[in-house]
């Protein structure tokens, strides 16, 4: 997890230009980069809101993921360029769930159910 966070922070730093401005469009290059960017933004917001509970932080992360995806779609950034509104909404939900760790192996096996030996 720490490696993921470090790599998500390094992408904008590598995109820094000679005049000191930072190009944040790299965070919208792929689905995984946007999920990592969602996690980083959530951690920054979480540090400012120290009184937030676990459920509130999870809901906040979902909202941040959806808002980042909508912003990237409106600005035609990265892989979101040219998507229809409903495709963008599906990606937004997927990014929010991925950033929260809900789409992990245990979730998928629980969703698909355990295969009973015959």
* % of the chain residues with pLDDT over 70: 64
71 inside domain: yes
User: For residue 61, what are the domain limits?
Assistant: 57-101
Task: Output the 3-class SS for 40-106.
Answer: HHHHHHHHHCCCCCHHHHHHHHHHHHHHHHHHHHHCCCHHHCCCCHHHHHHHHHHHHHHHCCCCCHH
86 inside domain: yes
41 inside domain: no
- Tell me what pLDDT residue 3 has: 55
- How many C-beta atoms lie closer than 10 Å to residue 64's C-beta? 22
Is the separation of the CB atoms in 106 and 57 below 8 Å?
Answer: no
pLDDT surpasses 70 at 5:
no
What is the average pLDDT across 38-56? Answer: 82
31-48 vs 54-74: helix crossing angle, rounded to 10: 130
Lowest mean pLDDT, pick from 26-30, 60-64, 66-70, 87-91: 26-30
What is the average pLDDT across 87-102? Answer: 86
17 inside domain: no
25 inside domain: no
70 inside domain: yes
79 inside domain: yes
What is the average pLDDT across 82-110? Answer: 80
45 inside domain: no
pLDDT surpasses 90 at 70:
yes
**pTM as predicted:** 0.67
Look at the chain and report how many structural domains it folds into: 1
Any residues with CB less than 8 A from the CB of 12 and at least 6 apart, and which? 22, 23, 24, 26, 27
């Amino acid at each position: 997890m720490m490696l993921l966070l470090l790599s998500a922070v390094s992408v904008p730093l590598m995109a820094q230009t000679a005049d000191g401005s930072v190009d944040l469009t790299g965070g919208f290059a792929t689905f995984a980069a946007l999920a990592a960017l969602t996690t980083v933004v959530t951690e920054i917001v979480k540090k400012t809101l120290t009184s937030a509970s676990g459920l509130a932080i999870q809901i906040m992360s979902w909202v941040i993921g959806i808002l980042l995806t909508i912003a990237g779609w409106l600005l035609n950034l990265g892989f979101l360029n040219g998507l229809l509104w409903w495709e963008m909404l599906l990606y937004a939900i997927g990014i929010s769930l991925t950033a929260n760790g809900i789409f992990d192996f245990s979730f998928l096996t629980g969703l698909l159910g355990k295969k009973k030996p015959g």
